Amino acid sequence: MNVAESLEAFVTWRETVGGRLGLVPTMGALHDGHLSLVRRARRETDRVVTTIFVNPTQFGSSDDLKAYPRDLDRDLTLLREERVDCVFTPGEAMMYPGDFSTWVVVERLDRAYFGEKDYQQLRVVERLVRDLNVRTEIVPCPTVRESDGLAMSSRNVHLAPEDRRAALVLFRALSAARDACHAGEPSGEALGRLVAETIGREPRARADYVAVADPRTLEPVTRVGRGGAVCLLAVWVGSVRLIDNVLLGSPG
Ligand code: AMP
């Protein structure tokens, strides 16, 4: 397994190998959710590249960024076990040089794998690829959950035992919305309220946002129609902010 710490090293590696390239971008602290993407890429492409970059622009506060779990050695061991071909671990200075304004590097990717857990990210990347005519297929992958329903996340390690229990409220709330929709409740507002109320009953949790949106445009929906909807939420559980989502109805 090649470990490329710079773009030059990655490009050099790329020039030495042929075949279809599958990309799995991550922020490290890998779990089975990430590995499900890697395994799918392994099945569907000839060369699997995983990137590990804790992207500062994805964090609201510098404390949150500092506290993000990091364990590169463990990540590399897991990726070696999955027979990943190359791990790209760029540094911050390389990704965000002081004077950058625009930067798009598309290295003959064939497919890039993204988890549905980060639903808005997935849709934004799809839009970007379409609008910039990037010839890469974006492959959405289902959310991998713990056996009790909690979506796997690198942030789960920060949950204190009581908060780990309380964190189940996300799955409970989303399941309630899915069941209500299935039982015939079409109102986006009513479904959102049901979710917010379910979260409100868990004293250790505080909803950051709850949205019932169009699965493609992410615009709020007043009524869940034939195209279905996605219920998205972000919830603080103790000091940890967790996100999750579920599809409602049948998206076309
Ligand atoms: P992250 O390291 O959190 O930025 O996630 C990297 C990629 O793994 C993203 O495409 C995520 O959507 C995906 N991912 C994270 N957690 C899960 C999960 N529980 N199930 C499926 N994909 C996930």
pLDDT reported for residue 99: 78
The share of the chain scoring above pLDDT 90, in percent, equals: 85
Query: Which DSSP helix (H) or strand (E) runs through 205?
Result: strand 205-213
Give residue for tokens 């996300």. 170
Q: 88-92, 181-185, 197-201 — which is least confidently predicted?
A: 88-92
CA of 20 to the centre of ligand 1 (A): 22
Whether the Cβ atoms of residue 129 and residue 56 lie closer than 8 Å to each other = no
Q: What is the mean pLDDT of residues 164-173?
A: 98
Distance in Å from the first CA to the final CA of the chain? 40
- For position 117, what pLDDT does the model report? 98
- pLDDT per residue over 4-30, tens digit each? 999 899 999 999 999 999 999 999 999
Nearest CA to ligand 1 atom 8: 34
Q: Specify the pLDDT at position 106.
A: 64
Which token pair is 165?
């229990």
* pLDDT category of residue 252 using cuts at 50, 70 and 90: very low
The pLDDT, as a whole number, for residue 104 is 65
What pLDDT is recorded for position 98?
80
pLDDT tens sequence across 50-83:
999 999 988 988 988 999 999 999 999 999 999 9
What band does 94 get if pLDDT is binned at 50, 70 and 90?
confident
Q: Report the atom number in ligand 1 closest to the C-alpha of 142.
A: 21
Q: What's the angle, vertex CA 147, arms to CA 213 and CA 202, rounded to 5?
A: 60
Nearest atom, ligand 1, residue 117 CA: 12
Mean pLDDT computed over 28-47:
98
Residues with a known catalytic role: 34
